[in-house]
Amino acid sequence: MDNTTKGLPLEGVRVVEFTHMVMGPTCGMILADLGAEVIKVEPPGGDKTRHLPGLGIGFFRSFNRNKKSVVIDIQTADGLATAKELIGQCDVLLENFRPGLMDKLGLGSQALREQFPHLIYVSHKGFLPGPYENRLALDEVVQNMAGLTYMTGPEGRPLRAGSSVNDIMGGMFGAIGVLAALRERERTGQGQEIQSALFENCVLLASQHMQQFQMTGEVPPPFPSRISAWSVYDTFTVANGEQLFIGAVSDKQFLALCEVINRPDLATDPQLATNAQRVAVRPELLRKLADTLQHLDLEALCAQLQTAGLPYAKVVRPDQLVQDEHLIASGGLASMGTEDGGETQVVLLPLLMGGRRPGVRHPLPAVGEHTEEVLGSLPVATVIR
């Protein structure tokens, strides 16, 4: 037992992970952060996600911490035998390969759970069982299928969210399923199959808009075209071309904003006395606010809005978050040793447990770093070294 896991909630749970990219690795990372021993099985040469360029360059380091790396070639008979020996010693199996691949290799849920009834088998897929289940899916595919690109971009210009929202969310739901299945196994002694899917994740994200349609009979407009429920709920350009979101969602907040920006004329205008009145003339009101805000210094304005208790937010780029004072002070960023001997800052799980933030316990593993350690206890005849 790794001493660094002692006291963590999933101490003693052993997970074997056959995953790549984002969805499956996210599930494994959550379980590993919570104390499980997560063994990542990589092919000879390592997971190709380690070497992605461009927007994929950060995938491996972001979602594979606190894991052990074992190299097994599951495309060979000896490798499959080794994999099955290892699976038999684990509580949970994670996979996110294309539909049918694990079954073809003899590592599907039904076959393994017949052999290992205690096993909790988690498949991360594009779709749950149904007409779409054999389609290949990507985050952007399901964002289009489930209305997210439509709701995000301007009318006629669908736009994907700027992050792998469904892949990450799918991994989260996989981990939630594992926690529930572990609890159920305490009562029944039996494992079970869990499926988490990108499309269904994204439909859940769109559920509020689906409900809006069912209640009103009207098609929800994309966010850039929406009719806001509040008069001041927008992003403004301030001095030096910097941008700031400001929300004033009550009459009291509107008066406070008028005081902050020194616009008593707006505060005393009887035609702007209520939110409903202000929404009715929203474009003109926003123009008047913009005329004033464009001359105001960003930092000074933020300080005044904070003092006044008004909602506001700078438009921040991801690179700036590495220096975010709140993330640093609250422990939301942690140093992690990288597989090449360097160091990087990683984002921790967004939760506290008993005042403790589950953190980084190990450097990112090199390819196959733990092969001898993990496979050394298996029957010698099946171990590929």
Q: What is the pTM for the complete model shown? A: 0.94
Q: What is the pLDDT of residue 47?
A: 97
What is the chain's length? 385
For residues 205, 29, 41, 7, the Cα torsion angle rounded to the nearest 10 degrees is -140
| Ramachandran assignment for 134, one of left (phi > 0), alpha (psi -120 to 50 degrees), beta (any other) | alpha
Contact predicate 105/43, CB 8 Å: no
Q: What is the mean pLDDT of residues 109-113?
A: 96
Q: What is the mean pLDDT of residues 113-134?
A: 97
Q: What is the pLDDT of residue 227?
A: 77
Least confident span in 10-24, 53-67, 196-210, 222-236: 222-236
Q: What is the pLDDT of residue 385?
A: 45
The domain spans of the chain are 3-205+331-382, 228-319
Q: What is the pLDDT of residue 284?
A: 97
Nearest to 261 by CA among 313, 222, 301, 207: 301
Q: What is the mean pLDDT of residues 218-247?
A: 93
Q: Predicted confidence band at 381 (pLDDT cuts at 50, 70, 90)?
A: very low
Q: What is the mean pLDDT of residues 266-272?
A: 97
Task: Give the class (CATH, top level) of 228-319.
Answer: alpha beta
Q: What is the pLDDT of residue 226?
A: 81
Nearest to 148 by CA among 137, 162, 163, 158: 158
| Residue linked to tokens 């988490």 | 196
Nearest to 308 by CA among 248, 267, 268, 266: 248
Least confident span in 208-217, 333-342, 355-364, 371-380: 371-380
What stretch of H or E contains 62?
helix 59-63
Contact predicate 108/99, CB 8 Å: no
Q: What is the mean pLDDT of residues 4-10?
A: 83
Greatest C-alpha distance within the chain: 86
Q: What is the pLDDT of residue 383?
A: 47
Q: What is the mean pLDDT of residues 131-159?
A: 96
pLDDT in tens, 27-57: 999 999 999 999 999 999 999 999 999 999 9
The CA distance from 335 to 355, in Å, is 20
Terminal alpha carbon distance of the chain: 23
Mean pLDDT for all residues in the chain: 95
SS3 call for 248: strand
| Residue linked to tokens 């792998």 | 164
Q: What is the pLDDT of residue 14?
A: 98
DSSP letter for each residue of 162-177? SS-HHHHHHHHHHHHH
Phi/psi at 265 (nearest 5 deg)?
-65, -35
Q: What is the pLDDT of residue 1?
A: 47
Q: Predicted confidence band at 351 (pLDDT cuts at 50, 70, 90)?
A: very high
Nearest to 124 by CA among 93, 95, 87, 103: 95
pLDDT in tens, 76-92: 999 999 999 999 999 99
Q: Predicted confidence band at 5 (pLDDT cuts at 50, 70, 90)?
A: low
Q: What is the pLDDT of residue 172?
A: 98
What is the third-level CATH fold of 3-205+331-382? Rossmann fold (3.40.50)
Q: Predicted confidence band at 377 (pLDDT cuts at 50, 70, 90)?
A: confident
pLDDT in tens, 180-225: 999 999 999 999 999 999 999 999 999 999 999 999 999 999 998 8
Amino acid symbol at 330:
S
Is 70 exceeded by the pLDDT of residue 258? yes
Q: Predicted confidence band at 3 (pLDDT cuts at 50, 70, 90)?
A: low
